[in-house]
Amino acid sequence: MQAAILIVGDEILSGHTQDTNSNFLAKRLFALGVDLVEMRTVGDEAHAIQGALWELQERREAELVIVAGGLGPTHDDRTVAAVARANGRSLVLDEATWRRFLERHRQRHEAGADPRPAPDAATRKMALVPVGATVFDNKAGAAPGLALERTLVTRPGSAWTIVLPGVPRELETLWGEHIEPFVTALAGGRATRRHVAELVYHGYESEMATLLDESEAVDDQVTVGSYPQWGEGRVVLRLSGRDKGRVEKATERLVARLEEEGHRVERMSHPSRQEPTPT
């Protein structure tokens, strides 16, 4: 299964807020065996959100796009309306979400924390959802998570959009309670978790570049990544693939070749460990 991540927010593009949501989601999708084909960031303009969704689903062939950010009560929170338009849906009040807002407001009002007798229109805006969307209760905040499916235009089949709040605590809570099991069920047999092996090479990346090219050429089902640890004189090598046996063989082959060339290499973990679901 192929997926993409779409981060929404002018504050991200301006550098005023650091995006941590894409990293969190990328790790979780990798752990589930879902192939992440692209991560993109756009501002709060509705046309930018709609255009990015179209490109990711129709051109990049992402079967799932996870959108994060822009679900709040203010004028520049346009994500839900933009996603609804991109999917050809109108907005409707989600009664369960609205009841939750009313109850929360009643409690705050009675406790003297909010002088207003009822929630305002801005709060009501966060209870509006696209017609037919699956709604996920946000216990860590206000605006709920959403999921909706649409039929593709440029190719057969359909694509899903999941919409999450941009506040990391809310996004992460929704992922653990609702989104991870939803994505797992959605992917079904199309997601296979990757097996990962990690090595530490004592030396410099340029010294082993040819051997890494060799390793990938031998088995194109095993990817090899090199990550220099600056100032430490060592490089972390990560081999991953969906077939445990192939990862093991590729790891053994690479270790043997490095040692043949007189290089020092150590295993960081068991060569066929399965990438765990992060906690």
What pLDDT, on a 0 to 100 scale, did the predictor assign at position 150?
96
Residues shown for the chain: 279
Residue type (1 letter), 19: D
pLDDT for res 123 = 94
Q: Where are the domains of the chain?
A: 2-190, 195-274
How many other C-beta atoms can be found within 10 angstroms of the C-beta atom of residue 163?
28
* Class of the CATH domain delimited by 2-190: alpha beta
CATH numeric code, 195-274? 3.30.70.600
The C-alpha atoms of residue 243 and residue 56 are separated, in whole angstroms, by: 28
| Chain mean pLDDT for the chain | 91
Query: pLDDT class for 239, splitting at 50, 70, 90?
Result: very high
The pLDDT of residue 278 is 41
Nearest to 211 by CA among 242, 256, 245: 256
* 95: confidence class by pLDDT, cuts 50, 70, 90: very high
What's the confidence (pLDDT) of residue 263? 85
Torsion of CA 119, 124, 125, 131, to 10 degrees: 170
Q: Are strands 35-42 and 2-8 parallel, antiparallel or unpaired?
A: parallel
Residue whose structure tokens are 């709604």: 135
Q: Are 167 and 141 in contact (CB under 8 A)?
A: yes
> Which pLDDT value is given to residue 273?
42
195-274 shares the fold of 2-190: no
| 21, pLDDT greater than 60 | yes
Which pLDDT score, from 0 to 100, does residue 269 have? 58
Torsion of CA 75, 79, 85, 91, to 10 degrees: -70
Give pLDDT tens digits for 102-159.
Answer: 999 999 899 999 899 889 999 999 999 999 999 999 999 999 999 999 999 999 999 9
Question: What is the pLDDT averaged over residues 34-56?
Answer: 97
